[in-house]
Amino acid sequence: MNIAFIPVRGGSKSIPLKNIKLLNGKPLVYWTTKAAQEAKCVDKLVIATDSEEIKKTVLSIGFSKLEVFDRSTENAQDTSSTESVILEYLANVQADNLILIQATSPLLKSEHIDGMFETLAHSDADSIFSGVREKQFHWIEGENGLQPINYDYRNRPRRQEFQGIIAENGACYINSVSNILRDKCRLSGKILAYELPPETAYEIDEESDWIIVEELMKKR
């Protein structure tokens, strides 16, 4: 069994109850829930929340694969890791693979999820994450000042010749349940990246993200 798992808290501070705030006429969590519902590789869709208001909202969506997991208060704090609620859920569940999806990435589509799953299934890798290719030049602070980490500034490449780097977009991760229970992490072993369109880099954390993503969805 392949389980799509979407953790949502009721305690968002940047945008109160953002997971059920309307985005293009639907609650934010609806869009990733819809993607998981329509993904062929997903057998069960679980939304983990500590909020009764969110629970009522997601159950009203009426998707056939959907059920709600009542996550503990302990694992729904500002300091709680996503892994903590994943492990809480998996403690009493039998499944083959976990597809972790972030509700704050509403540009994720069902074909992205299926594409990731198929890519992982036909590889020798253990886990996979969704990402976007960035072609900016990145630097990091070191003991001797700033140092480039993805190019040689003395031999600056032309953009069309520059491969860039893959950045996690936070939308989706797939790993086997046995790996997650063993390593206590969403990713493990040999890891693949599945490249998604540049606009999927947007995660809704602030009001400005909301405005940008809503406009992108309207154009789509």
Tell me the C-alpha distance between 52 and 48, whole Å. Answer: 11
pLDDT per residue as tens digits for the range 91-140: 989 999 999 999 999 999 999 999 999 999 999 999 999 999 998 999 99
Active-site residue (options: 156, 158, 159, 182):
156
- Asked if the structure places residue 149 within a domain, the reply is no
- Asked if the structure places residue 116 within a domain, the reply is yes
- Asked if the structure places residue 141 within a domain, the reply is no
Structural domain tally of the chain?
1
Tell me the C-alpha distance between 132 and 210, whole Å. Answer: 19
pLDDT per residue as tens digits for the range 4-48: 999 998 766 667 788 999 999 999 999 999 999 999 999 999 999
pLDDT of residue 144: 84
Domain that holds residue 30: 2-132+167-219
- Asked if the structure places residue 21 within a domain, the reply is yes
- Asked if the structure places residue 19 within a domain, the reply is yes
Task: Provide the 8-state DSSP code for 106.
Answer: T
156 is catalytic: yes
CATH number of the domain residue 8 falls in: 3.90.550.10
Average pLDDT over all residues of the chain? 92
Pairing type for strands 66-70 and 145-148 reads unpaired
pTM above 0.85, yes or no: yes
- Asked if the structure places residue 184 within a domain, the reply is yes
- Asked if the structure places residue 147 within a domain, the reply is no
pLDDT of residue 13: 65
- Asked if the structure places residue 25 within a domain, the reply is yes
For the cut 90, the answer to whether the pLDDT of residue 177 exceeds it is: yes
pLDDT per residue as tens digits for the range 73-93: 887 777 789 999 999 999 989
